[in-house]
Chains A and B, each alone.
Chain A
Amino acid sequence: MTTPDPSTPEPAAPEPSAAGLPDRPKLRLATVWLAGCSGCHMSFLDLDEFLFDLAAVADVVFSPVGIDTKTYPENVDVCLVEGAVANVDNLELARIVRQRTRLVISFGDCAVTANVPGLRNLLASADGSSQQAVLERGYLELADTGAQLPFAPGIVPELLPRVLPLHEVIAVDLFLPGCPPSAQRIKEAIAPLLAGERPVMEGAEMIRFG
């Protein structure tokens, strides 16, 4: 702790906000959705009235369910990342998120383990890649009529050879497993972050998979 210099005036006490708490800059919160089913985001919306408390202390600066912004902004404090990394768009967004975010949370089993989207890795050929095999399975072998592979460069993102958990692509600061993590678990994980503390990720209520 530094001793205050008596020659400089004390900084003015922050104005109390409506809630009676001193105003501090709102936390810049983002959520992104890679290869996942949106279930983690639905669970997030299940936070119900806690969302009002959250809105009082955090600005949602990027989110598929919260705001229309299409470009991931700079200086994000916390980002919840749902989904595994399965295609080139997922990979690009994951890297941008890492560059522009202080605390990245791997949000849900798909982000943490690759989970259901990762099942296509089981179709891997000898070189370990499954992108061709999964397309052939889905669009040719299982097609009733009009079998053809999707081809729209620049519009439909190309699949990566393997589906990867988020932490195999970028550094992750916190893991929030669950398929989906319950609203209660999400709350227990993010409420401490709002207070500038790290949540305790221990016990079945917080880290059991599935």
Chain B
Amino acid sequence: MSVITLSVNGKEVAIPEGVSLLEATRAAGVDIPLLCHLDGLEPVGACRLCLVEVEGSNRLMPACTTAASEGMAIHTHTHQLLDYRRMAVELFFAEGNHICAFCVANGNCELQNVAVQVGMDHSRFPYQYPQRVVDASHPLFAIDHNRCILCTRCVRVCDEIEGAHVWDVGSRGSHCHIVAGLDQPWGEVEACTNCGKCVDVCPTGAIFHKEDTTAEKLRHSDRPALLKAARDEHVWRNQ
């Protein structure tokens, strides 16, 4: 395994060749907010919270999907980036219907957490109040599209880890939403094995166990990484 070196906020780090800029920031001990990224799933660069500045490039790059290369110099917490990140998080709140007070994920929600991380104490953008639906047709789980941030973690975990590929992304622009099967009620999709992995990885209160009520949804977003390590490297949690 060859090693490359690059700098993160002026600090030199050495990381294996072929990993992403996200691994470089981790090696430097720098915390950047992430929403769509989840260890164990293929990165897609959907949420744009992990954008970093790369010296010599006038484009901002998502750390989770950009390959690290020898000699790069990146910056993770410039004023511009802090400003954009807070704006991006405010837009997540403004474009959905997030009423934390009675949400199943209240106190245990990754969107709430990144809001704290970027210092969001209010939204400067007016709330849009989009018309969205709740699909409670599945016997065990439900999806409340009002809280979905389109991170596609559910799509990826169901496809990559469970192999059932129940979820997809449908429509465009502000109508974009997660669809089950062939845009069917979730409960009618025979491919669903009831494994609950999409519940585990959903960062918000969008997908949840029906028996959970306000603030009762627990976080299990570490599970894909554990399963992947078990399958690929035969490393189990208790080893």
Contacts and interface: CB of A to CB of B under 8 A. Distances in A.
A12 to B, nearest CB: 42
Nearest to B103: A210
A36 to B, nearest CB: 11
B1 interface: no
Interface in A163-210: 165, 167-168, 172, 175, 177, 179, 201-204, 207-210
A201 B103 CA distance: 23
Given A112-B121, A113-B127, A210-B100, A203 B107 contact: no
Interface string A75-102: 0000000000000000000000000000
Interface in B62-121: 93, 97-103, 106-107, 112-113, 115-116, 119-121
Interface string A106-127: 1001001111101101101000
Given A121-B127, A168-B126, A208-B116, A179 B100 contact: yes
A116 B126 CA distance: 16
Nearest to A118: B127
Contacts of A203: 116
Given A121-B127, A209-B115, A201 B99 contact: no
Contact of B101 (A201, A204, A210): A210
Interface in A28-57: none
Contacts of A210: 100-101, 103, 106-107, 112, 215
A124 B129 contact: yes
A115 B122 contact: no
Given A121-B129, A179-B101, A113 B115 contact: no
Given A168-B126, A201-B121, 12 more contacts: A113-B122, A122-B97, A167-B122, A175-B121, A177-B121, A177-B122, A179-B100, A207-B120, A207-B121, A209-B98, A210-B106, A210-B112
Interface of B: 93, 97-103, 106-107, 112-113, 115-116, 119-123, 126-127, 129, 131, 215
16 contacts: A109-B101, A115-B101, A118-B127, A119-B99, A121-B129, A122-B97, A122-B129, A172-B122, A175-B121, A179-B101, A204-B113, A207-B115, A207-B119, A209-B98, A209-B112, A209-B115
